Structure 1
């Protein structure tokens, strides 16, 4: 069991598609089973669900009582709640205050009655404790503790998982496309971005059917968002490259667009020549050199550096 359980765990950890674990009515997982199919093994792809009549079964209720509700605690509860036991303890305390020793016949009689009462009630209290522990193993409690993603009734499970699977497949594809457009984003960040888009469009991200309908009618919307993400990512990369390698960046500009490169040279030359001028004067001079058809002092009608005037504007 341990050997093949380890194989299952390895396969689930590496699985990259939607995976659902469902506990059916009257179904129950044991402690070892939880280790194998726990959704936390692959939280980005796995989800666990349970029917209203299912049980987690991490530990038997009787075992939980043996660990967390021992006989000593049951007796303390009995002394706090049982009327007869409380009365016997009051009588014993009164006799002790009157100076009777603990081995006095009357105190011994009260002690025997109290012990008999405890032994008679202990099985009843233990059954109550077991039932109390079992109440903490319901599907609702598992949902409260985030052990399962949701509680799904068996009668509605087929329809629920149909739309849930469609939703997850669409979401996973969108997450993948987003991480391709911007590799700096994690899957969780990409998923939150999709949810943000849905909320901005006024749609409920928790409704499987509503999410699928919105996604199927938003193809062009996703295309534009992905293009914008990719462009922003490329801009950040380009900005970082220009900051770290300005010479190489200018050489790339020269090869891609010589006209733009010459315009940048003009701006650089004007900045050097007008360092003593005000910032406004330097800006006006740079703008004049870039947009003026002829170079200063040239009356030939040709633009500076032999470039057409249209390429400088």
Structure 2
């Protein structure tokens, strides 16, 4: 597959890096600027001729003879050698243009895109279906956990901070300690996510901290503190009967 020019503006992962990931097949090309156009800017005829003068032994020899002819004042030889040099350069130009084009193409491969951070990973087409199935499942599972995490901690926790926190919890698990680079292993993440024991306690800690932060403002006002029992009573009236009994029992345990 190939993308050309303005198409990159539409699919650039930096537009929404939380949700857009870019991949390329091993044979893919970016073609932001076609190789022929690239060499017209970066490797013009002048540069190609200079390259010939450095690499082609016949041209090097002719230019040495031209220099000697100029020093000896042999103008007939100078004119003849200049014509031979121009003829040689004309003969070599198509081949050097082809080499320059290939050189420009090699700067636009999928491996080069990965090295520059344009794409996340290089894929083989024959394995892409299973790869994208696992990758999409991984993102869906991550997003569901991020949603739980932000509900527990409050909306002040942004998407990136949520991912960093999940990564931290994962890295502390036994699954992560089994091998290096486990975070990049989708199968390892699935095993970790499928066991709520790996993160439910941590989610509960975030819920407690969120409620504590909400109640901390009450502590700054004596009148708010006096109103707190009535507020709790009003809250309990709105709660399901079974949940109310559980909350009352837990509050008694805390107060005792």
Q: Same fold, TM exceeding 0.5? A: yes
Which residue of the partner structure matches residue 19 of structure 2?
A: 45
Greater radius of gyration (CA): 1
Equivalent runs, 1:23-172 vs 2, <5 Å: 27-98=1-72, 100=73, 104-172=75-143
TM-score, normalised via structure 1 length: 0.66
Aligned length: 225
Shift of residue 257, structure 1, vs aligned partner: 5.9
State whether structure 2 residue 162 is matched by structure 1 residue 190.
Answer: yes
Is 1:176–1:187's contact at 8 Å kept on the other side of the alignment?
Answer: no
Is 1:78–1:118's contact at 8 Å kept on the other side of the alignment?
Answer: yes
1:44 alignment partner, SS class: coil
Is 1:49–1:151's contact at 8 Å kept on the other side of the alignment?
Answer: yes
1: CA distance between counterparts of 2:69 and 2:210? 85
2:191 alignment partner, one of 195, 213, 223: 213
2: CA distance between counterparts of 1:163 and 1:127? 41
Which residue of the partner structure matches residue 178 of structure 1?
A: 149
Shift of residue 238, structure 1, vs aligned partner: 4.3
State whether structure 2 residue 199 is matched by structure 1 residue 199.
Answer: no
Q: Which structure dedicates a bigger proportion of its chain to helix?
A: 2
Shift of residue 43, structure 1, vs aligned partner: 1.3
2: CA distance between counterparts of 1:80 and 1:234? 74
1: CA distance between counterparts of 2:28 and 2:11? 16
Is 2:192–2:198's contact at 8 Å kept on the other side of the alignment?
Answer: no
Shift of residue 93, structure 1, vs aligned partner: 2.3
Unpaired runs of 5+ in structure 1?
A: 1-26, 259-311
Shift of residue 117, structure 1, vs aligned partner: 0.8
Which residue of the partner structure matches residue 231 of structure 1?
A: 208
1:88/1:236 Cα in 2 relative to 1: closer, same or farther (>3 Å)?
Answer: farther
Is 1:163–1:212's contact at 8 Å kept on the other side of the alignment?
Answer: no
Unpaired runs of 5+ in structure 2?
A: 177-181, 231-254
Is 2:169–2:199's contact at 8 Å kept on the other side of the alignment?
Answer: no
1:146 alignment partner, SS class: coil
Shift of residue 44, structure 1, vs aligned partner: 0.9
Which residue of the partner structure matches residue 237 of structure 2?
A: none
Give the RMSD, CA atoms, in angstroms. Answer: 2.3
1:91/1:234 Cα in 2 relative to 1: closer, same or farther (>3 Å)?
Answer: farther
